[in-house]
Amino acid sequence: MSADPRADALAAWAAEAATLDWARPWDELCDEHPGPDARWFVGGELDVAANCLERHLPTRGDQVALHWEGEPGDQRSLTYRELAAEVATFAAGLRNLGVGRGDRVAIYLGLLPETVVAMLACARLGAVHSVLYSALPPDALADRLEDLRPRVLITQDGTWRRGVVLPLKSRADEAMAATSGVEHTIVVRRTGIDIAWYEGDRWYHDVVSDGRTAPVPPSPLPADHPLLVVHLGDRRGRPTGIVHRAGGLLTYASTLHRRALTSGPEDVFWCAVDIGWLAGQSHGVYGPLAAGATSLIFEGTLDTPTHGRAWQLIERYGVNALVTSPSIARNLRQWDDSPPSEARLDSLRSIVHLGEPIDDDTRAWLFEEVGGGRAVIRDGWGQTELGAIVTVDPAPDPPLPDPGLEVLDGSGAPAADGEPGELVVNHPWPGMLLGVRHEDPDVPRRYWRWPDRYATGDLAARQPDGRITFLRRMDPVINVSGQLVSANEVRDVLEEHPLVVAAEVVARPDRRTGQAVIACVVLDDADGVARPEETVSRELTGHVQETLGGLARPRGVVLLDEVPDGVSRAELRAALAVLCSARPVEVLRVTSDQVRAAIAASG
C-alpha cells in the first residue's frame, strides 16, 4: 500500500481490466477529468459480448451459462456455446433490420433467456440498449420511449406475474401510439395470448431465423462507447436516462462479481432482483458472464405458486451465492407457511443485500435461518449512477478497489465521527455514468457539487473505527414499479397549486407497484368555497401527473386540517405514512391530533 490511495485505486483497476480481452490496449487508463465526461481506457477497444461469451468457449464452452426457470415451472439451460450462437444469430437479425452502431434498442421483456440474448446482441452491434421494467404502465413506458427514441422495441406477447398474464405487447402498442420513431417491434411468443399485429411487427423467432445465414462475429468497439441506458424516476416530466460505457461497466461488473458477490469461481449465482434495475444487468448478466460463471435467472415472483418458491429454486439449482434486496428478504420472512427450514439450503455460502438499509432482525434471519449460520451476509451499497454496488460490508479479501468514500458536512469539510453528512466519492470509478440522455444543465450541479468529487445525495456517518454507516437518501424517494420518484419534487409541485397551503408526500405499500405516492396537503380555504373531496383529489393528482409524469401521480390524497406545531418534517412524514397505510383509501381526512397520536404511539 502506497501513500497515495488514489494511485493505488487506479493501479487496482488497471489490473482488473487486464483480466479482460482487449482488441486494442488502452493508451491512458483514466483521464481523471471530474464530471460526466470523464473517460476510462482511453484509446482501448474491446467487444463486450465476446468477453462474456466467445473468450470462454475454449475452456467453458459446454459449461452452463444460464439456468432459466419460468413462473409456470418450465425450464431451460444454455451453455456458453449455445448462448454465444444465439447472440450471434440474433445480432445478425437485428442488423438485417438496419440496427447498427449507436442506434438505440428498447427491451421491454420479463426475465427470459431472450432478454439476455437481446442485451448481448445489442452490445455486439454497438447498439445502445435500455431494459425497461415489464411492470411499467403504458404512460410511463411512453415517457421512456420518448426519451430513448429507439429504432427497435423488443417485447413479448404477455408475461407471467403471479399466475396472471400481463399483456406486454398491447401495453407497448398503447405507449407507441403516444410517441414516434420505432421502426420495428420484435415480439417473443411466450404465453400464446392473442395480440394485435401492425406494420413493422416481427416475431422474435423469425428474426433469429433470418440471422442464421450470416451470424455476426466479434467486433470491437471503443471502450467509452455507450453500452446501455437505465432510467431514474421522472424529473419535471422527463425521466433521466443514465448512460454507461462499455469498457468501464464491464470492468466494474466483472470485478464486483469475482471479488464481492461470490465465494468461489465455480459458484452457481442468483441475482434475485428485477432485470429492469441496473443491478439486475450489472450483477445478473454482465458480471457473472464476464467471469465465466453459471447463473440462475427466474421469470416470476417468489410467492407463485407457493411461498416456498425461492427455497425450491436454491435447492434445485444448488445456488451458492445470492444477491437480493432487503424488501424481498422481508417478504420472504413474513411467509410463515413456507419457512426456509423446509428446504435444503446448505449450498448457500454468500448472501449480499442491496438497494436500501436492512434492519437487524431481517439480517439475523438471513444469517440464521436462510444461511444456516454458514453463509457470509454482506451489506451492499451503491447507486445506478455508479453501476450498482460499490462497497460491501464486511469487505472481501482481497478488498475491492477503493472508491475513496468520505462524509462531508454542509461546508464541504470532513464531518466529525458519528455526525451525518453527504457521502462523496473521491477516487475515479469505472462504473460511473458516462452522461445522461439529452443535455441536462442540472447534471453537473446535482452530481459534482464538490470540486473533483462525486456527490451521492446519500446521508451517511463515519464511525470511529472508520466504517461508514449509510443512513438514507437526502432527498426521500418512493419506489414505484422499480423507478425512484422524488418525494420532495412531488411536494414542491403540489405546493405550486393554488389550492394548497402546505404539502408533504409519503409512500404507501401497494401490491401492484410496490409503493404508491400519497399526497398529504393542507388546503387553502380562504375563499370559503367548499369543494368535493373527489374533485380536489382529481385536480391535485392530475396536476402532478401533468408536471412530472405518470409514475409520480399520487394514488391517494390525505387532507390534513393543519400541520401540528413543534413537529419535525421527519416526524410528520412518519406519522402520515402510518395513518394512510392503516386506511388505504383514495381520499383520507386526518387531523393534527391524529398525527400527534401516531407520533406518540411510535415512541
The structural domains of the chain, with segments of one domain joined by +, span: 80-219, 405-473, 477-601
Does the pLDDT at position 24 exceed 90? yes
For 35, 362, 586, 590, 599, the CA distances from 581, given in Å and listed in that order, are: 41, 21, 11, 12, 15
Average pLDDT in the 177-196 region?
95
Average pLDDT in the 504-530 region?
82
Q: Answer for the pair 549, 143: CB distance below 8 angstroms, yes or no.
A: yes
pTM, two decimal places: 0.87
Burial environment of residue 600 by CB neighbours within 10 A (0 to 12, 13 to 18, 19 or more) = exposed
In the chain, what percentage of residues exceed pLDDT 90? 61
- pLDDT one-digit tens code per residue, 524-579: 876 666 778 888 889 899 888 877 777 788 999 999 998 888 888 888 888 898 89
**533-548 helix and 487-495 helix, angle to the nearest 10 degrees:** 120
For residue 216, what pLDDT is reported? 94
Rounded distance between C-alpha atoms, residue 29 and residue 265, angstroms: 27
DSSP state of 177: T
SS3 content of the chain, % helix, strand, coil (to 5): 35, 25, 40
What fold does the segment set 80-219 form as a domain?
Rossmann fold (3.40.50)
Residue 35 binned pLDDT confidence (cut-offs 50, 70, 90): low
Does the pLDDT at position 76 exceed 70? yes
Is 405-473 a domain of CATH 3.40.190.10?
A: no
For residue 481, what pLDDT is reported? 67
Contacts for 50 with CB less than 8 Å, ≥ 6 apart = 21, 124, 218, 220
What the block records as the C-alpha cell of 240 is: 433521466
What fold does the segment set 477-601 form as a domain?
GMP Synthetase; Chain A, domain 3 (3.30.300)
Does the pLDDT at position 382 exceed 90? yes
Closest CA to 433 of 174, 231, 186, 275: 231
In the chain, what percentage of residues exceed pLDDT 70? 95
Does the pLDDT at position 317 exceed 80? yes
- pLDDT one-digit tens code per residue, 430-443: 999 887 776 555 66
